[in-house]
Structure 1
Amino acid sequence: MGLTFLQILLGITAVSTALMGGLFYAYSCSVNPGLGRLSDIGYLSAMQSINRAILNPVFFASFLGSLALLPVCTWAYFSYSVSPGSWCVLGATFVYFIGVLGVTMAGNVPLNNALDKADLTATSAGQLAEQRAAFEERWNRLNMVRTVAAVGTVALMVAGCIGLR
C-alpha cells in the first residue's frame, strides 16, 4: 500500500517543525550557555555574527516552510477527517504561529536588529555591559518561549501523525 498525499504532507511538516524545535532546543541547552561564558565584547560580537549567519536559505526553508506547511496540512487533514489527529495538527499550527513566529517577530527580531546596528568597536566597556544586559536575558527568555512552543508543535504533529488512520 502506497503512502497517501496526507501521510506525505504530515511527514514533511513533522520533519520541518522538528528541525525548528531542534534549532531552538540546541540554542537553549548549548549555544546560549556557551555564549554566556564570553566577555561582553565576545558575546555581543558572536551574537551579531550568528544573527547574520542564520539568515540563509536553509534556515528560511525550515522556518518559513513550517509556516506554510502547517496550515496546508491542517486543511488537508480536516478535509480527510475531523478527528483527534486533525485537532492536534490544528493545535500545532496555532502554537507555531503564536509561540514561534509571533515571539520571533515581536521579540527576538527587534533585539537582533538593534544589536546588528551597534558598532561594537566604537563602544566603551561600560556601554558594552549595558548593551549586553539589555539584550541577553530578554533574548534568552524569548528563545525559551520559542523552544517550548516549537517542541510543543512537534509533539502535536507527532500526535497528529499517530492519529491518522
Structure 2
Amino acid sequence: MGAAVFTAAVWLSTLLCSLVAGFLFAFAVVVMPGIRRLPDRSFLETFRAIDGVIQARAPLFMLMWVGSVVALLAALALGFAVLDGADLALLAAAAALYLVGVQLPTGLINIPLNNRIQACDLETMTPEQLRAARHAFESRWNGWNIVRTAVASLTAALLFGLLLRI
C-alpha cells in the first residue's frame, strides 16, 4: 500500500507541477506579450484585473498552486520510505528546484510586485507616474516569470522521468 500511495503522490505532483508550468508559460508567451502592447494605464488596469482573479483565491487556481506544493512534499516524504539512490535524489532535486525556483521567487518577487500594482490609484496617477509604475514592474516581473517557467518545466520533466523509473 505504501508504494501505491507514493506512486499516486508522484502522479499528482507531476500533474499539478505541469499545470503550474503551463500557467506560467501562458503568461510568458501570451498574456504579458499581449498586454505589453497596451498604453501604460491600460496595461496596469489589465494586469490588475487578471491578478485580482488570482488574489481572490480562485478555487481551481489555489488547488493547482498550493496543491502542487503539498503533493510534491507528500511525495518526497513518502519517497524516503520507498526510494533510494538515484530515484530519491531525482525526487529531492525536483522538490528543491520547485520550492526554490518557483515558489520562493513567487513569494519574494512576483507577489510583492503584483501587490504594488494593486495598491496604485490609477485614476489619480499622472502619465509619468503610470509609466514609472509600469517600468518598475514589467521587466522584473517578466524576467522572474521566465525563471519560474523554466524551473517549473524542469521540475515537471524530472517528475516524468521519475515516473518512468518507478
- Same fold judged by TM-score > 0.5? yes
Segments of 5+ residues of structure 1 without an aligned counterpart are none
RMSD: 1.2
Q: Normalising by the residue count of structure 2, what TM-score does the alignment of the two structures yield?
A: 0.93
Number of the residue aligned with 1:87: 89
4+ runs deviating over 3 angstroms? none
Q: Is the 8 A contact 1:9 1:73 kept in 2?
A: yes
Number of the residue aligned with 2:131: 129
Post-superposition offset of 1:53: 0.6
Number of the residue aligned with 2:74: 72
Number of the residue aligned with 2:163: 161
Q: Is the 8 A contact 1:84 1:160 kept in 2?
A: no
Matches within 5 A, 1:5-16: 5-16=5-16
> How many residues were matched structurally?
162
Q: What is the CA–CA distance in structure 2 between the aligned matches of 1:161 and 1:112, rounded to whole Å? A: 35
Q: Is the 8 A contact 1:16 1:66 kept in 2?
A: yes
| 1:142-163 Cα distance to aligned partner (Å, 9 max, x none) | 1111111111110111111111
Q: Is the 8 A contact 1:40 1:128 kept in 2?
A: yes
Post-superposition offset of 1:135: 0.6
Number of the residue aligned with 2:120: 118
Helix, strand or coil: the match of 1:121? Answer: coil
Number of the residue aligned with 2:34: 34
Number of the residue aligned with 2:102: 100
Q: What is the CA–CA distance in structure 1 between the aligned matches of 2:68 and 2:86, rounded to whole Å? A: 21
Number of the residue aligned with 1:143: 145
Post-superposition offset of 1:15: 0.3
Helix, strand or coil: the match of 2:123? Answer: helix
What is the percentage of aligned positions where both structures have the same residue?
29
Q: What is the CA–CA distance in structure 2 between the aligned matches of 1:4 and 1:117, rounded to whole Å? A: 47
Q: Counterpart amino acid of 1:34?
A: G
| 1:62-113 Cα distance to aligned partner (Å, 9 max, x none) | 1111111112101212211203222211111101111111000010011111
Segments of 5+ residues of structure 2 without an aligned counterpart are none
Q: What is the CA–CA distance in structure 1 between the aligned matches of 2:44 and 2:88, rounded to whole Å? A: 43
Helix, strand or coil: the match of 1:38? Answer: coil
Q: What is the CA–CA distance in structure 2 between the aligned matches of 1:13 and 1:81, rounded to whole Å? A: 16
